[in-house]
Amino acid sequence: MTDIEKTQIDIINGNRIYSVLSMMLAAFLTYSLLEPQVSTHVLLYWLTIILSVDVFRLYTTLNYKLAKKNHNINYIAAERYILIGTLLSASCWGSLALILFPIVDGQGVMSIIFILTVITTGSTTTLSYRLKFSVIFILLVLLQLMLSMYQQDHIVGNDLLLMEASFVVLIFFLIKNAKNLSTSVENMLILQAQSEMHEHELIVQREKAELANKTKSEFLANISHELRTPMHAILGFSSLGNGNVGIASDEKIVSYFSRINESGHRLLRLINDLLDLSKLEAGRMQFESKENDLRRLIDASVEELLPLFKERLLIVDIESTSVYTKVPCDSDKIAQVINNLLSNAIKYSPIGGTIAIYFDVVRLHPHESQADAKSVSAISVSIKDSGSGLPADELDSVFNEFVQSSVTDSHTKGTGLGLSISRAIIESHGGEIKAMNHADNSGAVFTFILPYKGVITSM
């Protein structure tokens, strides 16, 4: 059942109590009007039956309202109860003519015709939110009325034919009116649903804009801090050097130059990272793809970072493997990823710890936007440190720009761009990168996956 159909059921049940009470009042008035002309108990039996039907309709409506209040509505059952109530009510009102026409006078016949015409017209308005209910009520009441006309002797001949023709016209008129009203309500509900959808989209877009604005503000605040820190160091130590020429010892002057050089390199790394990130996000990063051996790239990165490993007395354990380690990739960019992950592992590992590197063959599943694509064979490279691991709520966020893990030592924090750039590079190679904690809580594991037959795409 669609949302629009559910809303139509809601509207019908919302007005149904008043409709049922009105029908009960109409039944009493009908009994009062016709009772003097009917000497039998037939009319009383009819009143009892139709009131019982209205009690059933009232009971099902109240049950629906209770279920709606408890947010536990069975719309299929609700529709079924409306259908049953409509069939029973229409049958009762239509039978009034079948029962009474043979025993009432001409005035009684006209009274019954008037009552049934008014009842049918009024019910059409209430039920027309779902067209089929209106059609059922109209046909059951008026067709019985038309059949009953041949059981009375007060309207005959051409007058009877004219009356039957009038009923046919009335049936078509009421059905057309019910259809127009049903169509209008349905269109109104569709427009309302579209309006709510647009409103939701506007809210989502506003939240995205607010998030983008917040992200921009945080980015500017972070980048300002990251740029200002090495600049202050460069300016500060150069001023100290200028002010102490000929006064301070050569050793002191050399320390100033060392701090200036260190800060300059830090500033250069930050600028290079920003340029790389900007190019990747704009899709302007140039890749040179050819088959490269990931094992050789890892060996080269370990060799490059050897002074840092020695400084912290770290052991690098590269597991021997029979896995085929050659993939199409840009060697410089993948080497940059490996350097970032190894630097990250060095940062998180305690002095004297071990960094393990291992390979595996996996299936790389397509992105959600590529639902029709098939999984492909790929190689995964995992770098495990021996630190305390990452908080569970930071396993995804560590790949965002300028995000540092809360467990990072304040003296070893970097720019927070390395992992973000690494993710962009890997995704541009058609792969994926993720972080997790080792099963025995003995460190964090960063894994990147590259397809054996990959195609490099722009971000």
Q: What is the pLDDT of residue 142?
A: 93
Place of tokens 């440190």: 385
> What is Dmax (Cα atoms) for the chain?
135
Reported for 163-169, long-range contacts at CB under 8 A and 24+ positions apart, including other chains, are 163/113, 167/142
- What percent helix, strand, coil does the chain show, rounded to 5? 65, 10, 25
Measured between alpha carbons, how far is 263 from 379 in angstroms, rounded to an integer?
38
Q: What is the pLDDT of residue 251?
A: 83
Measured between alpha carbons, how far is 263 from 247 in angstroms, rounded to an integer?
24
Q: What is the pLDDT of residue 328?
A: 92
pLDDT at 153 over 70: yes
pLDDT at 334 over 60: yes
Measured between alpha carbons, how far is 138 from 124 in angstroms, rounded to an integer?
7
Measured between alpha carbons, how far is 281 from 276 in angstroms, rounded to an integer?
9
More confident residue, 368 or 440: 440
Instruction: Name which of 106-110, 237-241, 354-358, 430-434 the model is least confident about.
Output: 237-241
Measured between alpha carbons, how far is 119 from 133 in angstroms, rounded to an integer?
14
Which residue(s) pair with 451 in the sheet?
378
Q: What is the pLDDT of residue 410?
A: 43
Give the pLDDT band of residue 449 (cuts 50, 70, 90): very high
Give the pLDDT band of residue 459 (cuts 50, 70, 90): very low
Give the pLDDT band of residue 279 (cuts 50, 70, 90): confident
Residue 81: both structure tokens together: 């109860």
* For the chain, percent of residues with pLDDT exceeding 90: 32
103: buried, middle or exposed (CB in 10 Å: 19+, 13-18, 0-12)? middle
281: buried, middle or exposed (CB in 10 Å: 19+, 13-18, 0-12)? middle
Average pLDDT, the chain: 84
Give the pLDDT band of residue 408 (cuts 50, 70, 90): low
* DSSP 8-state symbol, 38: -
- Give yes or no for a contact between 302 and 342, defined as CB atoms under 8 angstroms apart: yes
Residue 85: both structure tokens together: 């109530």
Measured between alpha carbons, how far is 74 from 91 in angstroms, rounded to an integer?
26
**Interacting residues of 270 by C-beta distance below 8 A, sequence separation 6+:** 226, 227, 230, 415, 417
Place of tokens 């269109």: 187
Q: What is the pLDDT of residues 94-129, one digit of tens each?
A: 999 988 888 888 888 999 999 999 999 888 777 878
- Give yes or no for a contact between 93 and 125, defined as CB atoms under 8 angstroms apart: no
- Give yes or no for a contact between 321 and 349, defined as CB atoms under 8 angstroms apart: no
Q: What is the mean pLDDT of residues 221-245?
A: 78
- Rg of the chain on CA atoms, in Å: 41
* DSSP 8-state symbol, 35: G
Q: Nearest Cα to 113, choosing from 127, 136, 92, 96?
A: 96
Measured between alpha carbons, how far is 152 from 168 in angstroms, rounded to an integer?
19
More confident residue, 51 or 399: 51
- Give yes or no for a contact between 71 and 6, defined as CB atoms under 8 angstroms apart: no
Q: What is the pLDDT of residue 412?
A: 46
- Strand duo 326-329 + 376-384: pairing: unpaired
Q: What is the pLDDT of residue 48?
A: 92
Instruction: Name which of 4-8, 243-247, 274-278, 371-375 the model is least confident about.
Output: 371-375
Count CB-CB contacts under 10 A for residue 346: 20
- Strand duo 290-293 + 376-384: pairing: unpaired
Give the pLDDT band of residue 146 (cuts 50, 70, 90): very high
Query: Per-residue DSSP letters for 145-182?
Result: HHHHGGG-SSS-HHHHHHHHHHHHHHHHHHHHHHHHHH
